Amino acid sequence: MGNSSGRLRSVLHRLTSPDHELEAESLQEESERLGGTPVSELPDRQPACVCGTVRTVTLRPRAGVPALVAELYDGSGVLTVVWLGRRNIEGIQPGRKLRVRGRVAQREGRPVVFNPLGRVPEGATTVEEVVRARLAESVGGLRGSLEAALPTVAFVVVWSLTHDVRAALAAAAVIVLVALAARLLSRQSPRYALSSLLALAIAAAFALRSGRAQDAFLPGILYSCGLLAVTLLSVVTRWPLVGFLVGTTSEDPLAWRTHSGVVRLCQRLTLVLAGLYAVRVVTMLPLYLAGEVGWLGVCKVVLGWPLYLVAVAAMGALLLKGRTPLDLH
């Protein structure tokens, strides 16, 4: 009997309440489910998480500095979110559901968050959990690694059998095109297959120009040298490369720069990547100079996805170890 009367009251409430009140109740329920703090209860000068719907987005320069301003409504009130130095952010638009975390400030009696960390994964409460989720979103997985490795295997096998650079490149190209077609037919992102196609085209240009099979591996070695230099420079300048990896899956690709804890963590993770590139260069450069095509192929495969897994495991150890709170100041 009690359940029936409760359902009846709920139906009557929905029939008699205005639409804006029902919308507010729905937003408050969703915010509570996602772990958000009601805007009406936001503490001043304290970090908080708010979930709601973007009502308006405007550009309001502050002292000559661009500032993107959004109003986030959660059913209990409106939070003003300000991204200093930004003119637009992909995905930030009216009607979009958004979950932001930052330190709350009161401006003219209204709560404001400046430069929020961005889209926070559900359940994340520390910097390490956010970065771990971002890395998981950005890794291509086993299929992407196979799409990168199999063309190399085909190249080495055919070259070993024929010593014909053109035939070896053709075999690698067939593998890449098959992978690309499979991605397109299954309506999946062809990102990794296209990356392999580009890499193969560059390798082919080097090898066909010289006629030497080992030159197909030279672009990869030079690429690793360049990445080693860039990763080390990014750590020194406090713009660590991993930070951009984190930003690629966030609404604001530079939001991580506002959090000193994220910057320090990304510096340590970037040093792990630097070690990976250093191993590739130190191992493959002598083999290239010696013209060891077979061993170059083996090393390219082994020092590709398998070594990347080792680097990810090292990053995982750093991420599991840390407990940096999600406080943007």
Where are the chain's structural domains?
Answer: 16-27+34-116, 136-321
Mean pLDDT for 73-102 is 82
Listed range (49-53, 109-113, 145-149) with the worst mean pLDDT: 145-149
The reported pLDDT for the residue numbered 135 is: 56
Tell me the percentage of the chain whose pLDDT exceeds 70. Answer: 76
Domain 16-27+34-116 has CATH 2.40.128.50: no
Report the SS3 class of residue 316: helix
Most confident of 195-204, 229-238, 265-274: 229-238
pLDDT, tens digit (0-9, with 9 covering 90-100), for 181-206: 888 887 776 777 777 778 888 888 88
211: amino acid identity, one letter = G
The reported pLDDT for the residue numbered 271 is: 93
Mean pLDDT for 138-154 is 70
pLDDT higher than threshold 80 for residue 87: no
The reported pLDDT for the residue numbered 129 is: 57
Tally the residues of the chain: 329
The reported pLDDT for the residue numbered 153 is: 82
pLDDT, tens digit (0-9, with 9 covering 90-100), for 118-132: 555 545 555 555 555
- Who has greater pLDDT, 4 or 275? 275
Mean pLDDT for 15-32 is 69
Going from the C-alpha of 58 to that of each of 51, 73, 89, 118, 320, the distances in angstroms are: 19, 15, 11, 18, 39
Going from the C-alpha of 132 to that of each of 26, 189, 245, 262, 309, the distances in angstroms are: 31, 22, 11, 12, 14
Residues 296, 148 contacting (CB under 8 angstroms): no
Residue 325: DSSP 8-state: B
pLDDT higher than threshold 70 for residue 248: no
Average pLDDT, the chain: 78
The reported pLDDT for the residue numbered 327 is: 47
pLDDT higher than threshold 70 for residue 272: yes
